[in-house]
Structure 1
Amino acid sequence: MTTIIDVAKQAQVSKSTVSRVISGNGYVSQESRKKVLEAMEALSYSPNLIARNLQSGETKTIGFLAQGFIDPLGIFLESFISIAKRYNYYVTLYFTDGDKKKEIDALNQMKYKQLDGVFILTRANKWEIIEPYSLYGPIATWHRIDSERIYSSYVDHYSGYLRSLNYLYDRGYRSIGHVLGNSENLNTKARIKAIDDFQQDKNIPIKEEWLFHDRARLDNGRNIAHTWHKMANKSDAMAFYTDSVAAGFISELQNLGYSVPEDVAVIGFDNSEISRLMHITTVDYSIKRQAQNSFIYIHNQLNRETIAEQEMSVQLIERKTVPLRKKELDKNASSSENN
């Protein structure tokens, strides 16, 4: 079997020069690089990456785990890959399809020195199952979790959701429906607290029929549209935990003969590409910086560095799906004057 020594002899350079050409690290003159590449081609030499990784203890590769495609995936993955490239890391995407074994197989790649670290966008296993794998490499996520072994780049969804509800109220909306994520998710619990505090502050009761919990995302916007259509007492605004479900809701309502925002106002959450395409008013909670901070954590852990994380913020992005309800505001103002 051809070795690096054979390549060095063929190219008439040192073994270290061949090593620098293969790794891409260190200076090699153009003439020497050309000799090495020609020698590798002549000898049909292929670097033994597994052996080299075992020797160095690193692969320069981060695993990116997701159950499948969700709306924020494109933004998050693009930002994660971009900053990883800046620091000379590769990113390998694993779609687990919600299969717990597939997720464990991916996490085991750190144990077998095939990955240096892992980022989890969406998980299949419980966190207590995932946590022990941090022994083999750093693990980061954007989920809000309380763990000393897994880094979380979460943004406070309480303040973001409360801001969206206050925005709807200030625009004249009083009957507001809520589409929330998995009830076990800490971000969902933060939104529920925001709803409770909003209701107490504004003295606005919520009807149970206006509260939805979405577990699968797939087609749920359409299903919620049909439920809303059948309601005798419809909400005049709907607040969604993600833009993709909001988009599905709007699209299906149009098929049912309704018009958004004339018949119902809609506000999303993510500021994803679909919200821009459909002009959905939404909340931007720094997805790009969540991705960047997740990589920075992994990089710092692997290299014992202290690169500063990016500051994150929550912003409301006004578009076309939450118009000002002037009549409602005028009526409330008149009532206050009479009192």
Structure 2
Amino acid sequence: MPQARRVSMAMVAERAGVSGQTVSRVANDSPRVDPETRRRVEQVMAELGYRPNRAARALRTGRTRTIGLVAQTLATVGNSRMLQSVAEAAASRGYALTVVTLGEDGDIAGAFDRLHDQGVDGAIVLNEASALAREDASSTGLHLVVVDSPPDERFTVIATDHAEGARRAVRHLLARGHRTVHHVAGPAASYAADERERGWRQALDEAGIAAPEPLRGDWSAAAGEVCGERLPPEATAVFVANDQMALGVLRSLASAGRRVPEDVAVVGFDDVADAAQYRPALTTLRQDFDALGERALRLLIALIEDRDEHADERLAPALVLRESA
């Protein structure tokens, strides 16, 4: 059986009625292409099944169109959803993705070395790994976009405005008549957890209320259940740093015979896929993981291509009102 003929750039140019240089610019995602021309060329590429030769393009441009993603773990809901959004955004822009997890040893320098050896053009660092990136960013030799980090001149930052989301949650609970709001916080080493705790404290301070001692978990439902059992009997409202721990809090309150929201109102953070199915359905802050992934990739590509792009973005989470508060 004869082998199918490889679709060439010249064949795409002829069908689209443009020059080979225009097809090359579209294939390399150059901004110097009229949007309508780009749409027509991409349509022809799809019709003919054109696939750019990555090896040849890397030789021409010095870029592999491969990016790295570094995460402490992919077991958490936030990290797995970010991986999905970054992978989809990368594929839509014609980039391949290499994933490195750090595990318990947290060897981010080794992760950067492995990505460098694989010739990636740059990397996105997720959430808990951001603290490690701040310790080792100067020696990476890679373009970096870090998700959830304080501003840092060594790399670009994209983050959810965790503190503002927490403030909205607490203000909502206080407006419902609660005298104070207790807090189940995330791990002390987490930037997101620290920011959510900061927003909780700020909202109480603005209302002239002394913050109760927070309880601290590890993001898991099991930890949330333990923290829920330790809530003082006078607690009528609790802001929980993520939805998985909120699930554990709901379970512990049910076991203690305390009704939600009649006896205790509960607000989570993240809006995981099953939050609406909790009993009762969970009021929570929704992070836009699709927007985080798309913008992280866009900022990284701008760094790779030496283009000026607004950096250090903060995305506001949305308060989703359901039955629990």
TM-score for the superposition, normalised by structure 2: 0.73
Is 1:198 aligned to 2:203, yes or no?
Answer: yes
Match for residue 184 of structure 2?
179
The Cα of 1:74 is off from its aligned counterpart by 3.6
**Residue range with higher mean Cα deviation, 179-188 or 159-168:** 179-188
Match for residue 331 of structure 1?
none
Aligned-partner SS, 2:129: coil
- Distance, in Å, in 2 between the alignment partners of 1:304 and 1:125 is 26
Aligned-partner SS, 2:124: strand
The one-letter code of the counterpart of 2:293 is A
Aligned-partner SS, 1:273: coil
Match for residue 238 of structure 1?
238
The Cα of 1:11 is off from its aligned counterpart by 9.6
The Cα of 1:286 is off from its aligned counterpart by 3.0
- Distance, in Å, in 1 between the alignment partners of 2:252 and 2:204 is 29
Partner deviation per Cα, 1:47-76 (whole Å, 9 max, x = no partner): 9x8898577533322222222211223432
The one-letter code of the counterpart of 2:224 is G
Match for residue 322 of structure 2?
319
Match for residue 288 of structure 2?
286
Contact 1:282 1:317 in 2 (8 A): yes
The percentage of aligned residue pairs carrying the same residue is 21
- Distance, in Å, in 2 between the alignment partners of 1:294 and 1:130 is 20
Match for residue 229 of structure 2?
226
Contact 1:116 1:302 in 2 (8 A): yes
The one-letter code of the counterpart of 1:155 is T
Match for residue 89 of structure 1?
95
2:81 maps to which of 75, 83, 88: 75
- Distance, in Å, in 2 between the alignment partners of 1:316 and 1:132 is 37
- Distance, in Å, in 2 between the alignment partners of 1:184 and 1:11 is 55
Question: Structure 1 residues 145, 202: closer, same or farther in 2, change over 3 A?
Answer: closer
Match for residue 165 of structure 1?
170
Contact 2:182 2:237 in 1 (8 A): yes
The Cα of 1:12 is off from its aligned counterpart by 10
Contact 2:268 2:283 in 1 (8 A): yes
Mapping of residues 26-37 of structure 1, within 5 Å: none
Aligned-partner SS, 1:269: strand
Aligned-partner SS, 1:169: helix
TM-score for the superposition, normalised by structure 1: 0.71
Contact 1:107 1:133 in 2 (8 A): no
Partner deviation per Cα, 1:269-328 (whole Å, 9 max, x = no partner): 112213233221111243322221111111111123457789833321101110xxxxxx
The one-letter code of the counterpart of 1:141 is V
- Distance, in Å, in 2 between the alignment partners of 1:190 and 1:125 is 13
Aligned-partner SS, 1:153: strand
Question: Structure 1 residues 276, 107: closer, same or farther in 2, change over 3 A?
Answer: farther
Aligned-partner SS, 2:69: strand
Contact 1:246 1:267 in 2 (8 A): yes
1:127 maps to which of 127, 133, 155: 133
Aligned-partner SS, 1:219: helix
Q: CA RMSD in A?
A: 3.8
Mapping of residues 3-152 of structure 1, within 5 Å: 57-68=62-73, 69-101=75-107, 103-121=108-126, 122-123=128-129, 126-135=132-141, 137-152=142-157
Contact 2:148 2:159 in 1 (8 A): yes
Contact 1:283 1:315 in 2 (8 A): yes
Is 1:272 aligned to 2:251, yes or no?
Answer: no
Contact 2:87 2:97 in 1 (8 A): yes
Question: Structure 1 residues 108, 98: closer, same or farther in 2, change over 3 A?
Answer: same
The one-letter code of the counterpart of 1:277 is Q
1:300 maps to which of 279, 283, 302: 302
More helix by share: 1
Question: Structure 1 residues 54, 283: closer, same or farther in 2, change over 3 A?
Answer: same
- Distance, in Å, in 2 between the alignment partners of 1:192 and 1:124 is 18
Question: Structure 1 residues 146, 98: closer, same or farther in 2, change over 3 A?
Answer: farther
Question: Structure 1 residues 219, 133: closer, same or farther in 2, change over 3 A?
Answer: farther
Q: Could you tell me which runs of 5 or more consecutive residues in structure 2 were left unpaired when the two chains were aligned.
A: 11-23, 29-40
- Distance, in Å, in 1 between the alignment partners of 2:225 and 2:119 is 41
Aligned-partner SS, 2:296: helix
Q: How many residues align?
A: 289
- Distance, in Å, in 2 between the alignment partners of 1:171 and 1:267 is 12
Match for residue 248 of structure 2?
248
The Cα of 1:200 is off from its aligned counterpart by 3.4
- Distance, in Å, in 1 between the alignment partners of 2:4 and 2:241 is 60
Partner deviation per Cα, 1:187-225 (whole Å, 9 max, x = no partner): 4444444344333332333332xx113346462112112
